[in-house]
Amino acid sequence: QVQLVESGGGEVQPGGSLRLSCAASGSASGITAMTWYRRAPGKEREEVAGITSGGSTNYADSVKGRFAISRDNAKNTVYLQMNSLKPEDTAVYYCGVGVFDGDYTEWFWGQGTQVTVSS
């Protein structure tokens, strides 16, 4: 089992920045990909950004150029730097990690952290 603890959410004005962190503990030695999703009220869950074990990244079109995902493998931690935040970025953000056990990859999810962008 892998436990994920997220931090860094909060309320910020439009144009502001936040940095989310997600630290994995437990049986985290087989972590491969790491990702951030978000769910806004009344909307479908959306993958915001992902990063592979090799460091390749992908972003939703809605956040390209504003958000940056990174990881610290020594700390089993994934980050999401969010700049130029907009009200439409308001959502609960969830981190996820894939753990490969030699046969298949199992995904684990954090509890979510609220991000509110409002003036």
Confidence check: pLDDT of 30 > 90: no
**Strand 67-72 vs strand 105-109: parallel, antiparallel, or unpaired?**
unpaired
Q: What is the C-alpha to C-alpha distance for residues 9 and 38, in angstroms, rounded to an integer? A: 12
Rounded Cα gap, residues 53 and 43, in angstroms: 29
Say yes or no to pLDDT of 116 above 80: yes
Distance from CA of residue 84 to its chain's centroid? Answer: 17
Give the total residue count for the chain.
119
DSSP secondary structure, 61-94, as one string: TTTTTTEEEEEEGGGTEEEEEE-S--GGG-EEEE
Assign 1 a pLDDT band (cuts: 50, 70, 90).
Answer: confident
- Band the pLDDT of 92: cuts 50, 70, 90: very high
